[in-house]
Amino acid sequence: MKNRDHLDDLYEIFVKIENKEDCKALLEDLCTYKEVEQMAQRAYAAKLILQGKTYNEIIAETEISSTTLSRVSKAISYGSGGYKKFISVEDDG
């Protein structure tokens, strides 16, 4: 149960984030640069999946592994809905 308390504490910390600068500061303190970079890569891959890009297009653009891309795709299809709720799929261009 204690581990669950730590998770709940972490979720409460994230709920307190009010802007991009606060989010950046927290992630820089909480995670390594590589961990943040990997999360960003997954979020970007999710955006491309939601835009209808193919696996080959996404891998070519992001250099994400096919295993990680598959995990992201499964989370989009069968996960709790976080990617769909928080990732905007409008074209950047």
Do 11 and 48 sit in the same domain of this protein?
A: no
Specify the pTM.
0.85
Do 16 and 56 sit in the same domain of this protein?
A: no
Do 19 and 37 sit in the same domain of this protein?
A: no
Do 56 and 84 sit in the same domain of this protein?
A: yes
pLDDT in tens, 63-80: 999 999 999 999 999 999
Give residue 5's pLDDT: 83
Range of the domain at 68: 31-93
Q: Find, among 42, 39, 51, 34, the residue nearest to 72 by Cα.
A: 42
Give residue 92's pLDDT: 55
Do 1 and 19 sit in the same domain of this protein?
A: yes
Give residue 2's pLDDT: 65
pLDDT per 10-residue tile (average), the chain, 93 residues = 80 96 97 96 96 96 94 96 90 53
